[in-house]
Amino acid sequence: DIQMTQSPSSLSASVGDRVTITCRASQTISTYLNWYQEKPGKAPQVLIFAASSLPSGVPPRFTGSGSGTEFTLTISSVQPDDFATYYCQQSYRIPWTFGQGTKVEIK
């Protein structure tokens, strides 16, 4: 299985801060990398697919980058609605696997 490792596991940020989350794959996955946001009591939603593409409706303050084994999710100016848990997921090979999650909390 391809192991996905996220860092940090949690972080505190103030509204307006720039936030960066890193995801590393145990082997190269090209750009087959997705990011999801999960809020308590709600279904997860996809933020980024193919490492850097935004689905329609996702605010442009979310950007994804990377290829191979190292990827980042950046929130350019974190908003109150962005405090949530973020997961990366590889879509390169079955079994699809997720990172352990990064919880973004209010400072």
Partner 1 sequence: QEQLQPWGAGLLKPSETLSLTCSIYGGSFSDYYWIWIRKSPGKGLEWIGEINHSGSANYNPSLRSRVTISVDTSKNQFSLKVNSVTAADTAAYYCARHARNNYHYLMDVWGKGTTVTVSS
Residue pair 91/4 in contact (Cβ under 8 Å)? The answer is: no
CB of 13 to partner 1, least distance (A): 22
* 36/98 Cα distance (integer angstroms): 10
User: Within 13 Å and on the Cβ side, how many CA atoms surround 107?
Assistant: 11
Q: Which is nearer to partner 1, 22 or 91 (CB)?
A: 91
**Which positions from 28 through 57 interact with partner 1, judged by CB under 8 A?**
31-32, 34, 36, 41-46, 49-50, 53, 55
Q: Quick check: 63 binds partner 1 (CB under 8 A)?
A: no
Cis peptide before 95 (omega within 30 of 0): yes
Q: What residue has token string 């879509």?
A: 91
| Binding window for partner 1 (CB under 8 A); candidates: 21-29, 59-67, 76-84, 95-103 | 95-103
User: Within 13 Å and on the Cβ side, how many CA atoms surround 49?
Assistant: 6
Q: Which is nearer to partner 1, 60 or 95 (CB)?
A: 95
Q: Quick check: 8 binds partner 1 (CB under 8 A)?
A: no
| Binding window for partner 1 (CB under 8 A); candidates: 11-19, 27-35, 58-66, 73-81 | 27-35
